[in-house]
Amino acid sequence: MPARLRILYIAFYYPPTGGGGVERTIQFSRRLPQLGIDVEMLVPTDAKWVTEDPDSVARIPPGVAVHRVRYRGPSLRQLPGDRIRQAPTAAHRLVVRAALAPQRLLLPDANAPWLSDVVPAALKLLKSGRFDAFITTTPPHSVAVAGRLIRARTAVPWIADWRDPWLTHADLDLARADVRAKQAAIARMARWCVRGMDAASVVDHAVEEVRALRADLPLAVIPNGIDLEELAAIERHPDPSHCTFAFTGWFFGDRSPRHLLQAVAELVRDRAELRDVIRLRFMGGFPDADRSRIADLGLEQLVLIEPPAAHADALQAQSDADVALIFMQDGGGLGEKFLPGKVWELLACGRPVLAMVPRGGAAARELAAVDAAIVAPGDVAGTRAAVERYVDQWRAGTLASPALASEVRTRISRQTQAELLADLVRATVGARQGS
């Protein structure tokens, strides 16, 4: 039996911080000890993130030590775009923009101030001699910068985990000159970072980006996934009176439900009997600009907007739905390569899926495994047709639950992915010891 190893795992998002960015990390920290790799976490005391899930602290594995370090950076409890839109007048919006401007100067992202605290804290822990390797997980990509600074001052090998692309994210507005200039600076920083990595684990839709930064970097492709056991334990409680379409999560960047709202408004205008049948349920962050659109379209009685909820409650809402929803934007072509973590939840949730995502893109290809209805972002007519088809099937009692092939279940299982990461850790430590 191989000797047990111990790693220091540095993450910005970890309970009680909520949201999808937590899931990959907490699942690895829970499963790696079962595979002979003990884990100690290094995380912020308070990430000041847009969503908090106090109940999620109970999900931290009891054997995992959690070291918390103060974060002095700007608060993102309210996203910058929402703060600007909520300003009551144009003058107030200018004031808010001016207050937010310094955040745009931070490289690689607004969380960069954490470097001043997390780097010395990590070095102090690593100097204890009990760690065989350390892992950073990004985003935010300032954690990768921390990894480079730490690795320059220690012989302990560094494995960088990439949960999302860094330079080709779909939320980037590359039509703006200032965004392009900042991305050019960040690209130089990314190249500097990867030179210090001993190995990397990377989601499949970021492989091309990482290879372009450093072709010889030892790499394990570990896609995002889902805790299949957790989903299997959920007992479904649908609303028998309504065909419910549900989205749980946040509309980051310029993602919006506006085309779905328009499609449903047109459908119930032409088929008035469906007004008492369709329900659109949103749990999480909802764009302020679309709240007024609901009233303008006369959809108040059809739309339910609920605040962010605990992880378990979000999974329950998704399971209770008759149709699960996912939204993406084209992102100037970058959306085709992007795979939100929500995709894997939808693959395994056992519900039909209406996916408003780029046709032919990575998300569409994955969701084909459950025969999702794929509609291009902005296609109101296509969205209306998909909604109408699902509603008619629900009324006829023929709305089927999709089955997931066993090979897909194995690939997206958190256990499979933890085993891949454990193999990478052992190979990296072994290579370091043999050099």
Q: Look-up: residue for tokens 């939808």?
A: 346
Looking at the DSSP bridge assignments, the partners of residue 44 are: 69
CATH label of the domain that carries residue 378: 3.40.50.2000
Determine the residue type at 418: A
Q: Where are the alpha helices (DSSP H) in 128-206?
A: 142-151, 177-195
- Please tell me whether the peptide bond between 157 and the residue prior to it is cis, using omega within 30 degrees of 0: no
Tell me: do 355 and 367 sit in the same domain: yes
**Of 87, 85, 103, 51, nearest in space to 250 by CA:** 51
Q: Provide φ and ψ at 202, rounded to 5°.
A: -145, 140
Spatial neighbors of 136 by CB under 8 A, at least 6 apart, are 10, 11, 143, 144, 146, 147, 158, 159, 160, 161
Residues 361 and 275 in one domain: yes
Asked if 221 and 284 sit in the same domain, the reply is no
373 lies in which domain range?
229-406
Considering the domain architecture, whether residues 275 and 164 belong to the same structural domain is answered as no
Residues 167, 129 share a domain: yes
Please tell me whether residues 198 and 316 are part of one structural domain: no
Is the same domain home to 64 and 164?
yes
Cα–Cα dist 427/435, whole Å = 12
| 94 lies in the same domain as 203 | yes
Q: How far apart are CA 162 and CA 283, in angstroms?
A: 27
**Nearest alpha carbon to residue 137 among 11, 7, 8:** 11
Q: Do residues 148 and 14 share a domain?
A: yes
Whole-angstrom distance, CA of residue 429 vs CA of residue 431? 5
Give 12's contacts (C-beta < 8 A, 6+ positions apart): 43, 44, 47, 111, 114, 139, 140, 142, 143
* One domain, residues 213 and 308: no
Amino acid sitting at position 61: P
Q: Considering its fold, how many domains does the chain have in total?
A: 2
List per-residue pLDDT tens for the chain, 435 residues long: 578 999 999 999 999 998 888 999 999 999 999 999 999 999 999 999 888 888 889 999 999 999 999 999 888 777 666 666 677 777 766 665 656 666 777 889 999 999 999 999 999 999 999 999 999 999 999 999 999 999 999 999 999 999 988 887 666 666 777 778 888 889 999 999 999 999 999 998 889 999 999 999 999 999 888 899 888 899 999 999 999 999 998 887 778 999 999 999 999 999 999 999 999 999 988 888 899 899 999 999 999 999 988 888 999 999 999 999 999 887 666 667 777 878 888 988 899 999 999 998 888 999 999 999 999 999 999 999 999 999 999 999 999 999 889 998 998 899 999 999 999 999 999 998 776
